[in-house]
Amino acid sequence: MQENLNCPDSEIKSTEKSICSVIYFSGTGGTKRVAKAIESSLLNRNYQVNLIAIDQSASAIHSTDELEILKKSSTAILVFAVHAFDAPEPVYEWISQIRCNDLSSAVLSVSGGGEVWPNIGCREDIIKLLESHGFNVKYEKMLVMPCNWVFKIDDNLSMHLINEMPNKVDKILDKFLTKTIRRTNHHKGWLARKITRLEKKTASRFAQSFNVSERCISCQWCVKHCPVNNIQLVKNKPVFSNKCVMCFRCVYGCKMSAIETKNFQVLKKGFDLNALETRMKNKTLKPMNECCKGIMWSGVRKYLNDEDGY
């Protein structure tokens, strides 16, 4: 890993109202929170921020000049939730349509487990694609937010992660905007690559196993919020096509809990960061070392203890 090496002063502009484009893909809201925290920190630093959601849903808000502003940006920051130990397919598809000219960039991945195997190397291929399309990637880092699949983590630990995230964002921007280079030597091993290929191959059909219960009121929330337009209303019931990217937004976001699945990857009690904050409001959090035990959470402990540096 290279760190604390300075780029030429001309490579990252720090003049008043420089434009930074923040591009993100978020499924259930954790990565969106990271993007909004980056936006807030940049605004406090007197940057103009171009916030771009990689989201095709009817609920997504896009400005007509996002890409034109991207061309005028002095910096860009890509943020994505790790999927299949990699970047989600919509991120690859979005970048494949973009061309930049030596745009100074940072790549931030967001996971529930931290910078540990098998997430090691999750940024490798997306950075290669970015660089082939004119992005000059200077900085890369992993952020950790509450896990939304397979493993239900302690509410106290989730709140520690939520509370710490803005601090980590500030530290990252302190480094990136002052021309610090941070590139890792992390590579995706053969086993992780094999799992990535398998999971992405099967992901497209993931939602087809969902069952829509009688609780469905045909409100079309899931139809309007699917980031890849994978859901249609047929005879007043949502029907899932074969473009799913396993973001879990529909199954967790349904207000009637009408989308059901027995798949072990989906948390049985759902996932809602706003509800989490409500039930934990005014509660004294357990110390991190009491709610983050076991080898499975070693990467989270390392992250919260700031052992890998920012």
Residue-wise pLDDT for 191-228, tens only, equals: 989 999 999 989 999 999 899 999 999 999 999 999 99
Provide the 10 A C-beta neighbour count for residue 276: 15
Residues 6+ away with beta carbon under 8 Å from 33: 145, 162, 165, 273
Q: Report strand pairing: 75-81 vs 103-111.
A: parallel
On the question of pLDDT at 308 being above 80, the answer is no
Answer whether 104's CB lies under 8 Å from 76's CB: yes
What CATH number does domain 17-190 carry, 3.40.50.2300, 3.40.50.880, 3.40.50.2020, 3.40.50.360? 3.40.50.360
CATH topology of domain 204-260: Alpha-Beta Plaits (3.30.70)
Q: 248-283, pLDDT tens digit by residue?
A: 999 999 999 999 999 999 999 999 999 999 999 999
- Which ranges in the chain are annotated with CATH 3.30.70.20? 204-260
- Residue 307 confidence (pLDDT) above 90: no
Q: Looking at the predicted structure, is the pLDDT value of residue 97 above 80?
A: yes
Residue 296 structure tokens: 């499975």
Confidence class for position 98, pLDDT limits 50, 70, 90: very high
- Could you read off the pLDDT of 174-191 as tens digits, one per residue? 999 999 999 998 898 899
Residues of the chain with CATH 3.40.50.360: 17-190
Please report which confidence band the pLDDT of residue 310 belongs to, taking 50, 70 and 90 as the band edges. low
pLDDT of residue 16: 53
Largest separation between any pair of C-alpha atoms in the chain:
62
Q: What does the pLDDT read at residue 64?
A: 86
Residue 63 has a pLDDT of 87
